[in-house]
A and B are shown apart, each in its own frame.
Chain A
Amino acid sequence: MSDQVTQKVLSTMASVKHIPQERISLESTLQELGVDSLDTIIMLSELEKEFGISISDDEARSVRNVRDIVEGVRRLTNGAALNSAAAAESG
């Protein structure tokens, strides 16, 4: 189910930046993607809504690349809850 987190982070970033998702990889830095501080807070807000999590300001400030975000979201989400949400969605 970790791919679901990755996919959601990538699609959220693509949507916030209005760029094709294919342009974004786990190793992309926010700077490379042209993600500024305002884009970052919008993106994190979308992810908080999507996953029902709360990302602290300290965690938000430490984010440098896409992998940081994916790993941060994974840490904050409950795997089981995510699985059942995904199952409900696919069902």
Chain B
Amino acid sequence: MSERRVAITGLGVICALGHNTAEFWSALREGKPGIAPIQSVDTTKLRFQNGAEVRQYNPAEHFDPSHTDLLDRFAQFALIAAREAVRDSGIDLTPNLRENTAVICGSCVGGQCSQDAGFVELYRHDRPRVHPLVIPRTMANAGASHISMELGTTGPTFTISTACSSANHAIGQAFGMVRRGEVKLAITGGSEAPFSMGFLKAWEAMRVMSTDTCRPFCKDRRGMILGEGGAMLVLEPLEAAQARGAHIYAELVGLGMSSDAHHITQPSIEGPVRAMRAALNDAGIDPEQIGYINAHGTGTPSNDPTETRAIREVLGAQANRSAVSSTKSMHAHALGAAGALEAVATVLALHEGTLPPTANFTVPDPECDLDIIPNQARRTAVECALSNSFAFGGLNAVLAFRAYPN
């Protein structure tokens, strides 16, 4: 069976930069970070105080109370983003289409806030029991399951958890299923809600957190900032999208995956190189066609120079011409949702002909000698783009996108 071209026809986002895709894109374009003092957790006992939380968020605006009881914050974000993406796609979910729709989500830690709250009851308040819904709220597949239940989709539905690469792996699997004709539609992305005291303390102990902001590729970068949110994309065969007159944002054209087989937290150069090369091969595109890379760009001392060297090795001379930015400088590192937020940012960069900047830029680092679009977005039409995700555990997933002329 011949492979189908895969179109992206719907986008949905909720994160620190806004409650919908338009607000998200507006902040990215303006280079406005959503990083601020953390409000949902008392930070007086933490070594870092800043994060990228979803502000002015009221679940009651999105869910009725009995529904909210079932939903951890990460699943709420998954549903809100999926609703927007499906609405945006204009797709009519007929009974036949529902049976042939996949829902594939990424999440690193699922509903850990619900678990943390349950443990507070047990260990701090010495209560004999936890809330009976801790399990269904905590399970990492809750986001995917709730999307499926709400939309009535009954095709393949699951969650992938590969730390910071979760969403890219998820989107990649959905891409493959649509491309191979196994499903007619896919709703895919990721969501995360990492702000609990227990989880923030765990990140503090890793000593990778910035005490000010996230400055990827800068000489004075001090580490990462955690973010939360959800982002979803609607994927369908290009021909089907054209036939129904859908608006096509871009094409998803390649997936590259690899494992470093090296170290549980330290990045390697070889693993990312193989993942980026695999994405280019899968897409059938040359380095010279890559005008933009949305970098993994965590802002940690070790990621950014390693990623720089990997990009240089893959792109060769083209690395001096391609623009690279880390939008984590604005939406921060949303772990299992990161790849999905960045996929939406990359798709919109291609669609709008505007490359989002690396915000908070101060001083260049000679070890990160790429064109990182400092602080101000750039008006440039590019043909193809990559979006990188490199996870703890050495698991890499890279997506390749191509602009679609509407």
By a beta-carbon cutoff of 8 Å, the part of chain A in contact with chain B is 36-38, 41, 44-45, 54, 56-57, 60-61
Report yes or no: A41 in contact with B207, Cβ–Cβ below 8 A: yes
Separation of A57 and B209 alpha carbons in the complex (Å): 9
A37-B265, A41-B206 as given contacts; A57 in contact with B47, CB under 8 Å:
yes
Q: Is the interface of A mostly helix, strand, loop or mixed?
A: helix
Q: Is the interface of B mostly helix, strand, loop or mixed?
A: loop
Separation of A6 and B205 alpha carbons in the complex (Å): 23
Chain A CB within 8 A of B211 CB: yes
Separation of A41 and B47 alpha carbons in the complex (Å): 14
Instruction: Give the chain B neighbours of A60 by CB distance below 8 A.
Output: 207
Q: Which of A38, A44, A57 contacts B265 (CB 8 A)?
A: A38
By a beta-carbon cutoff of 8 Å, the part of chain B in contact with chain A is 47, 205-207, 209, 211, 222-223, 263-266, 301-302
21 residue pairs A–B, Cβ–Cβ below 8 Å: A36-B266, A37-B265, A37-B302, A38-B263, A38-B264, A38-B265, A38-B266, A41-B206, A41-B207, A44-B207, A45-B205, A56-B47, A57-B47, A57-B207, A57-B209, A57-B211, A57-B222, A57-B223, A60-B207, A61-B207, A61-B301
Central interface residue in A37, A38, A41, by most chain B CB within 10 Å: A37
Q: Which of B205, B223, B264 contacts A41 (CB 8 A)?
A: B205
Instruction: Give the chain A neighbours of B47 by CB distance below 8 A.
Output: 54, 56-57
Instruction: Give the chain B neighbours of A61 by CB distance below 8 A.
Output: 207, 301
Taking CB as reference atom, which chain B residue is nearest A41? Answer: B207
Report yes or no: A37 in contact with B205, Cβ–Cβ below 8 A: no
User: Beyond the given A37-B302, A38-B265, A41-B206, could you list 5 further A-B residue pairs with CB under 8 A, ordered by the A residue number?
Assistant: A38-B264, A41-B205, A57-B47, A57-B223, A61-B301
Shortest Cβ distance from residue B266 to the other chain A in the assembled complex, whole angstroms: 6
Instruction: Give the chain B neighbours of A44 by CB distance below 8 A.
Output: 207
Shortest Cβ distance from residue B365 to the other chain A in the assembled complex, whole angstroms: 15
Separation of A37 and B264 alpha carbons in the complex (Å): 11
Instruction: Give the chain A neighbours of B209 by CB distance below 8 A.
Output: 57
Report yes or no: A37 in contact with B223, Cβ–Cβ below 8 A: no
Report yes or no: A36 in contact with B223, Cβ–Cβ below 8 A: no
Shortest Cβ distance from residue B268 to the other chain A in the assembled complex, whole angstroms: 13
Shortest Cβ distance from residue B300 to the other chain A in the assembled complex, whole angstroms: 10
Report yes or no: B263 in contact with A36, Cβ–Cβ below 8 A: yes
Central interface residue in B206, B207, B222, by most chain A CB within 10 Å: B207
Instruction: Give the chain B neighbours of A38 by CB distance below 8 A.
Output: 263-266
Shortest Cβ distance from residue A79 to the other chain B in the assembled complex, whole angstroms: 25
Separation of A56 and B47 alpha carbons in the complex (Å): 8
Instruction: Give the chain B neighbours of A36 by CB distance below 8 A.
Output: 263, 266
Shortest Cβ distance from residue B302 to the other chain A in the assembled complex, whole angstroms: 7
Separation of A61 and B206 alpha carbons in the complex (Å): 12
Taking CB as reference atom, which chain B residue is nearest A37? Answer: B266
Instruction: Give the chain B neighbours of A41 by CB distance below 8 A.
Output: 205-207
Separation of A57 and B264 alpha carbons in the complex (Å): 20
Shortest Cβ distance from residue B170 to the other chain A in the assembled complex, whole angstroms: 27
A-B CB proximity, top 10 nearest: A41-B207, A57-B207, A60-B207, A38-B265, A45-B205, A37-B266, A41-B206, A57-B47, A41-B205, A36-B266
Instruction: Give the chain B neighbours of A54 by CB distance below 8 A.
Output: 47
Separation of A56 and B205 alpha carbons in the complex (Å): 11
Taking CB as reference atom, which chain B residue is nearest A42? Answer: B205
Instruction: Give the chain B neighbours of A45 by CB distance below 8 A.
Output: 205
Shortest Cβ distance from residue B212 to the other chain A in the assembled complex, whole angstroms: 12
Instruction: Give the chain A neighbours of B207 by CB distance below 8 A.
Output: 41, 44, 57, 60-61
